[in-house]
Amino acid sequence: MRRSLTVGMCLLFSLAASTVVAQFLINDTFDTDLGDWTAGMKSTVVWDPLDADGSPGSGSVLVTNISDSAGDGTGPEQCVDGIVAGEMYRVSADILIPEGQAETGSVNLLLRWYGDACGGAQTGPNSTSSRINTAEAGVWFANGVTGVAPPGTRSARFRLTIQQQGDSGTLAAHFDNVSLEIVDRTLSYVPAAGFAPGDAGSFWVTDLDVNNPNGETMTYELWWLPRGEDNTEPMKSELFTLGAEQNRRHRNVLGEVFDLDPDDAPFGALVVASDRPDTLAMARVFNQPDGGGIGTFGQAIPGVPARRMIRQEQRLRILFMSEDDDLRANVGCQNGTDADLRIMIELFDASGESYGLEVLDLPPYSNNQINRIFRDWKPIDGYVDVWSTTPRASFYCYGSVLDNLSSDPTTVLPQ
């Protein structure tokens, strides 16, 4: 017999990066008893020798909803101190649905965020992310969802619950190997994005693709890094979920995801913060002239994983820097660290003669662009070298060459 159940988890989604993985729950494998777990209401909660790993020396918790109507059976729970606002957390468990039960219902991993020790007002409303799981009766399956602790959070109440649907009768489930962990998040930088007017009558819009090449579901959020600002605490999006091998296109990402207005002239960069290290991202930043009718002119800007950023003393070259009546060339850079960063940009003509240095000082996680970098020497065909001597430097630079008549842009990546 196969059973289709909604397996959900209540979470509030917010934001920030993390690098540490930690386990917070006590007695998470239910080896001998239910110690450190507090029983809930509208359910029976008992220790059972059935173990997800088949260990004869361990067991699980069996929760049965005994409500006489549709609703939650609040199972065992723990209060967890030491939650850090802005960190991404993943909650998971191995679950088994015994045979001979109703065909509908939900098994939930519920997480509520608090500013105090699991008391008082919550730091934000709960949201629910759920998926349909089809599992053979009597077979263990794993389930988990990722979320982020909202601002002001210091603790969380974690609860295992079972919800009936209609008059389906009681519903029971085993839980084992329950986990609440900080997730190590992977950052990919899209170093240029805009939703505003630019030079030569241009108007720039940004579409962003995020792709999951993995066989497992991933979650991610987007960060907006305005140009020239200290972005230690950037604006962040809701948390998005992307299934295995799926792709999502965020059209006009600055307007639709971040609700930015062109009147604020938003230029800057984007970050894709994902719980998967192999996440792919690509932006199309395009000129959309007033009145339309002639199409758009765009350039592709790939997401750059943090591990592929330019490091201290690493010197790379950006070609095709031309400034004349037909073309103009810009150079932009993104700081990938939480400290101030100085980037050196040396200008050369086609013969290799140096035209001196430009210096770009960037606050934490900031970015900036030098427009028409060879303006003072036109007409000229040249190139630039970029590097940094700042300790622990991590940054990325790019070139953008534009047609002066149409503002048709070309991305030039460093080599």
> 267: domain CATH number?
2.60.290.11
Are 182 and 246 in contact by the 8 Å Cβ rule? The answer is: no
**Residue of 279, 342, 269 whose CA lies nearest to 307:** 279
| pLDDT of 69 strictly over 60 | no
Q: Which of 8-12, 50-54, 196-200, 347-351 has the lowest mean pLDDT?
A: 8-12
**Residue of 146, 317, 323, 312 whose CA lies nearest to 240:** 146
Q: What is the mean pLDDT of residues 12-35?
A: 63
Output the pLDDT for position 8.
36
Strand pairing class (106-114; 2-11): parallel
* Same domain, yes or no: 324 and 277: yes
* Same domain, yes or no: 321 and 348: yes
**Residue of 359, 206, 343 whose CA lies nearest to 268:** 206
Considering 151, 182, 213, which residue would you say is the last residue of a domain? 182
| pLDDT of 96 strictly over 70 | yes
Euclidean distance between the first and the last CA atom of the chain, given in angstroms as a whole number: 59
* Same domain, yes or no: 155 and 196: no
The side-by-side arrangement of strands in the sheet containing 127-136 is: 72-81, 155-163, 106-114, 2-11, 127-136
Output the pLDDT for position 100.
78
pTM value? 0.69
Output the pLDDT for position 19.
32
**Residue of 165, 169, 167, 147 whose CA lies nearest to 156:** 147
* Same domain, yes or no: 86 and 219: no
pLDDT class for 286, splitting at 50, 70, 90?
very high
* Same domain, yes or no: 269 and 305: yes
* Same domain, yes or no: 158 and 270: no
Amino acid at 344: M
| pLDDT of 159 strictly over 50 | yes
| Number of domains forming the structure of the chain | 2
Q: What is the mean pLDDT of residues 228-254?
A: 94
Q: Which of 134-148, 177-191, 384-398 has the highest mean pLDDT?
A: 384-398
DSSP 107: E
Tell me the C-alpha distance between 380 and 351, whole Å: 11
Considering 182, 205, 221, which residue would you say is the last residue of a domain? 182
**Two tokens, residue 76:** 């065992």
Are 374 and 382 in contact by the 8 Å Cβ rule? The answer is: yes
Output the pLDDT for position 134.
46
Give residue-wise pLDDT tens across range 313-349: 999 999 999 999 999 999 999 999 999 999 999 999 9
Tell me the C-alpha distance between 111 and 163, whole Å: 15
* Same domain, yes or no: 124 and 250: no
The residue ranges of DSSP E strands in 115-170, in sequence order, are 127-136, 141-148, 155-163
**Two tokens, residue 208:** 């962003």
* Same domain, yes or no: 35 and 131: yes
* Same domain, yes or no: 216 and 290: yes
Element (H, E) at 255: helix 253-256
Q: Which residues is 106 bridged to in the sheet? A: 6, 163
* Same domain, yes or no: 280 and 362: yes
pLDDT class for 165, splitting at 50, 70, 90?
low
Average pLDDT over all residues of the chain: 85
CATH value at residue 127 = 2.60.120.260
Q: Which domain holds residue 346?
A: 186-412
Q: What is the mean pLDDT of residues 31-46?
A: 88
Residue percentage of the chain with pLDDT more than 90: 55
